[in-house]
A and B are shown apart, each in its own frame.
Chain A
Amino acid sequence: MISLACELAGVRFANPIWAASGTFGFGRPYADLYPLRKLGAIVSKGLTVRPRTGNSGTRLYETPSGIMNSIGLENPGIRAFLERELPEMTTYGTAVIVNLGGSSIPEYVEGARLLDDYCQWLQASGQKAVDMLELNISCPNVKEGGLAFGLDTEQARKLVKEVRQATSLPLIIKLAPGARDLTEMARMCEYEGADGVSLINTIQAMAIDIRQRRSVFDRAYAGLSGPAIKPIALRMVHQVARAVSIPVVGVGGISSASDIVEFVMAGATAVQIGTYNMMNLRAGDTLAEQLIDLMNEEGIQSLEEIRGII
């Protein structure tokens, strides 16, 4: 009997298949479709201290094998999330990971402290809290957004160092594929005390409306996701997994059990499913079972056996 249960930064996950930030809301939209305990974790929509209304104009555009988005971190703010969304999110029987965004170090730190204080209070009163924090330093869609930190290792170091000090929650850093030196970035995260890294966020991309002679998106560039970016994500996960000893969470166009096996072979401890949730609204209902079936077919006893073998 194959078990997919895994541990990352002291947190137990029923399986290594997580819903990626930004494609899953706070879980509720999918809760009517299938039991969310079938997922290892849900990563929240990116949250900021203050509510954000998101970007104007077109927010979504389809490309061959992918989608581009420019949502702009629309979110209700961390306080509203904690009061209105978290109580239900903790009832799904799956781990809860908060994705934290921001536009300045003080804003990130304030967000991390808010979360930390609230979670300590929840735990002290015997209630379920957030299991992990995913620090978003890679959102390409907001001005002075996290991506400003995600490209340069020394910029990112200041942020990771301060957020690490501001929270006692397990901390993973979501890396940008456009980082000037991705392995150096990942090693910095490890050095500064991160418990893991997740990668990749969307790849900055562009589409032009030739009739209107302007970019499709008001903010000119948007983030590309979906099957189109999977080979790039896989290569980057492979590079980073060989450069650090903290766990690596693979993200980028995963849309089948065999994609998951590829990411594990490249060194991932867990994976996140993003765009595929939109291709198949019930993806999370079946992926874990499909993974077990595939492992049985291939004679794989456990994911540890194949992790990082390439």
Chain B
Amino acid sequence: MLIGPFYVAHAIIVLMLALIIVPLATIPRKLSYAAFLASSALLALILLLSIYAFLAGVDVTVFTIFHLYSFSEFFLGLFAFALLLINALSYEHYPNFTRFLLFFSFAIVGMFVVAMANSLVTILLGLELMTLPTAFMIMTSGRHHIEAAVKLFILSAIAIGALSFAIALLFPYDLQLTLSPVSAISLFTGATAASGNYLLILSIILVAAAMGFEVAAFPFNLWVPDVYQGAPGNVTALLAGINKKVAFVALMEIFFVVFIQFKPIFSPILVLLSIATMFYGNILALVQTNVKRLLAYSSISQAGYILIGLAVATQFGIEASILQIVAHLFMVIGAFAIVLWLESNNLRTLDDYNALGSRNRFAAISLAILMLSMAGVPPLIGFIGKFLVFSSAIDSQTLLYLAVFGIINSFISIYYYAKVIDRMYSGKSHDMLAMGKYTYAVVVIALAATILLGLYPGPLISAATVASKALLAI
């Protein structure tokens, strides 16, 4: 091995901390471009290091609170890559990028902390560190964004409260609170049977509710459309593309490591959340006229699909969910990049999207492809993700109906995706729109990922297999 595993882990942590210093060093001098370059470089370094660590199979624990292993390395790399895209989007969108970066860098550290967490408290802190700065990012973007920020703030406070309570309830069962399977024996009372352990079950439920908030599962998700619509587009892309995925990582870490012995208890909860979320997202998306809000609902329904694989709770199910997470991450970032750019040109509703096909051909065709992928049309990546998720449900035999619900939902979704595509290609206009170069680059990358990973998903699937096996091996 070229670099010792311990050094890799330390290097990643040091780079994370360096990210926080970047805005602090650049704000006084208003060095937006330098801040952008520095933060991008740091993210790229983290990306490279995590790829290296993943390929080398690094497995190391740092300060007992961080654990670097295949699963966390996979997501570290994925988030670093996605954050690079968001970083570029934000740089183009904000005249005062450094101020944005101040909060953004904290959120980034929060995400990485969750991905690398080795204890429940680390996860809690990481989630907090991610959500609060996100609220500030929204708030500082302008006066009319404050409502969305406050909503996010209040509801995330409640969710974090629920999660803290859940962790507190777990204390009698595991004094360390590390990410390791918790046994059903209470260290204080000596109660043993899982069914009699109401504290433990309550803890699982509270985790489900808190995570239900973070991953936008019905009924903990009513805030989502308001916040997604109210937030500036790059933050919406961040929320839908990364924050939610971080929450899925936390959910997987808690359920599949800590509560792994209580699968019969948490699996039905996830089944319920999944079905409700899919139907809620898809049916409400049908009646939306604001494209950003439509995408918000669509991303809710995508969270429902991801939950299917988690509800199945087998190695294959987790692998499928990881695939769907990756798929949705790229699709949603690409789509919100286009929506953000159109929003800055005052195009918001479906009616505004009329004739987009003739105003900017690239944007229209990209959005169409991304939406087809979200709808699950082969051979794009959205199809692969959905296909694997549904297959995992079928494979489990007992949850076959989840796959059927999923299929029905993915066909309902074709209606509203087709509606957007329809609009873009109806009518004609000679009023051309020009796309900024960073937005263009982000869309090209997201599109390339959507198409190429759809045509050749082999490497991605094997990486997801390694990650999911590593998660279950703890």
A binds B: no
